[in-house]
Structure 1
């Protein structure tokens, strides 16, 4: 379909949406328990089956380390220019269901006051697109909404990402619903048609990383000019996974996004402090841990990961922030795979720093 034809049809879709506000798929609704580090609950986008057994709308099912309500997770992308997809195209309705819904909407829109002129003409053109076998010389239509092919494919439609704040981006997938045969790929001109890579990005957006507390020695209360050791054991600091999948008749894809911890950065919460190493960034060890546990007899040694406070916190505390950087990759259906921007997540711990005249070692 050429761009001019698609633009004209999109005008009809916009007019119909303006009149009824019902063309877009329903916004996601989620259910499930709060996931943990290694085991999460399934969440899913709204949709289901009607009494014919045909899917009324494609579900995106989320599982693993994802938020329980389907909202944005706690991962912050290290690439400020990267954003999840604002919208995409996904399986919507079978032919009979689509005919029922679309014909009702078209008739209602045609009878809506103020829908004459350009908008009315666009709606009429859209109606011909779905009712005529050849609506135009350059663009075949869908005779009787492809009802004779019911069960052999689905109409696909635009889905808005409810977590995209920019309404223009969210509505940028504005082509009319189009037909895709079971087992076939969507037409190449629909670049936003859902893929494993899109599902991986959506899993990334909803990923919930564990709130891991850094072990300190001395713990919570330390002394001025006394190195404080910091570390994370591998046992509490492991990779997490989140999966997004669509499973409807004739179309099944999924992607699993994996976050692997790679470094820890310490922010003392005051400028009057030194970090070890000086950059504040502690690399991951060969065994998957970070830093080194303090042991008796190491008081004169410099910790590989830690902080030395240079003044007292007085009657209060310093809010030390430990931010973990996670390396994020994904794998999906058909052997698809790739990388996503590193993610970060930080937690704050209160540290009391006391001043003494001398430290007995």
Structure 2
């Protein structure tokens, strides 16, 4: 039994999906009559064939990132994920390119049925170790599902891009705010207010996720580094910890790590309460299977609660 879905190059082909790939393909098609190139000698350091991969050895391209806390390398020059055509035009190297056969490969997810009785587009037996890949080639119309017992030696994507994909798998939320007095209980001007985040993987971290392609995996880890509480009266407090949950045994003591004192009442506010906004800053670091690492821009999340504040009335 053969698995024959999408043997031709369709609108879902690897060369014509997404804005970045479409733009690169337009350049490739425009230059096709003159020939494209990949790095193995010849004019401009390339032979007169297809895509010039100017980023290192096939299957293990270089990156300009230092491996510290940067974003994993920039764009625009040698060693940073750019491919040069024969006229010196540079385009981003598309993930999955195999210079040996000038085709693109993508591991299929989910995998089609395989095993005894199933074959790929070329009639290959799918019994035993291996996986189905979607194949699409620049130089001809060969495309479809192929069974490979080992992953193809392809140009790897920028690990920072995989880190972003891993980040997008995470659920990162604002703080689940705890406070004393609580939102439905009255507090007093000058009395200690305790603030804390009811910690979880999605409200404090660490939160981890992994994105991978054949030959490269990247794990991203997100943690909250600070929470700034805007208290609704014009004041704020920034806490570098999740805060300490209040217990009755603490009495009237101030919070040791995340507290506030109101200096005005909330009676003139909507509903007679201050709106308290917690702004959480998520720091995201990533580690690649190649040893590279870096950080992504911080993610910001907010959440809200309320505080009712009055004055102590003295009766003579």
Question: Could you state the TM-score of these two structures normalised by the residue count of structure 1?
Answer: 0.46
Residue by residue over 1:232-251, the C-alpha shift from the partner in whole angstroms, topping out at 9 and shown as x without a partner, is 244563311233333xxxx4
Matched, 1:296 2:215: no
Q: Distance in 1 between matches of 2:250 and 2:285?
A: 38
Aligned with 1:56 (options 3, 9, 13): 13
Q: What's the secondary structure of 2:33's corresponding residue?
A: helix
Q: Which runs of 5+ in 1 are unaligned?
A: 1-48, 61-86, 93-97, 107-122, 146-151, 154-171, 187-192, 285-289
Aligned with 1:282 (options 217, 234, 239): 239
The verdict on how the C-alpha distance between 1:201 and 1:176 changes in structure 2, with shifts beyond 3 A counting, is closer
The verdict on how the C-alpha distance between 1:335 and 1:322 changes in structure 2, with shifts beyond 3 A counting, is same
Aligned with 2:158 (options 176, 190, 195): 195
Contact conserved, 1:255 with 1:332, CA < 8 A, in 2? yes
1:67-78 → structure 2 map (5 Å cutoff):
none
Match of 1:330 in 2: 286
1:340-351 → structure 2 map (5 Å cutoff):
340-351=296-307
Residue by residue over 1:139-192, the C-alpha shift from the partner in whole angstroms, topping out at 9 and shown as x without a partner, is 42238x9xxxxxx99xxxxxxxxxxxxxxxxxx974697763475464xxxxxx
Q: Which runs of 5+ in 2 are unaligned?
A: 52-57, 60-88, 101-150
Match of 1:68 in 2: none
Q: What's the secondary structure of 2:163's corresponding residue?
A: helix
The verdict on how the C-alpha distance between 1:241 and 1:253 changes in structure 2, with shifts beyond 3 A counting, is same
Shift of 1:88: 6.6
Contact conserved, 1:196 with 1:333, CA < 8 A, in 2? no
Structure with bigger helix share is 1
Residue by residue over 1:216-272, the C-alpha shift from the partner in whole angstroms, topping out at 9 and shown as x without a partner, is 1110032222221112244563311233333xxxx443322110223322221222x
The alignment covers a number of residue pairs equal to 208
Q: Distance in 2 between matches of 1:173 and 1:356?
A: 71
Match of 2:145 in 1: none
Match of 2:188 in 1: 223
The verdict on how the C-alpha distance between 1:56 and 1:301 changes in structure 2, with shifts beyond 3 A counting, is same
The verdict on how the C-alpha distance between 1:358 and 1:328 changes in structure 2, with shifts beyond 3 A counting, is farther
Q: Distance in 1 between matches of 2:15 and 2:312?
A: 65
Shift of 1:209: 0.6
Match of 2:308 in 1: 352
Q: What's the secondary structure of 1:335's corresponding residue?
A: coil
Q: What's the secondary structure of 1:326's corresponding residue?
A: strand
The verdict on how the C-alpha distance between 1:176 and 1:201 changes in structure 2, with shifts beyond 3 A counting, is closer
Residue by residue over 1:334-361, the C-alpha shift from the partner in whole angstroms, topping out at 9 and shown as x without a partner, is 33323334443221222222333259xx
1:79-118 → structure 2 map (5 Å cutoff):
none
Q: Distance in 1 between matches of 2:223 and 2:16?
A: 28
Matched, 1:141 2:108: no
Q: Which has the higher contact order (CA 8 A, sep 6+)?
A: 1
Question: Could you state the TM-score of these two structures normalised by the residue count of structure 2?
Answer: 0.51
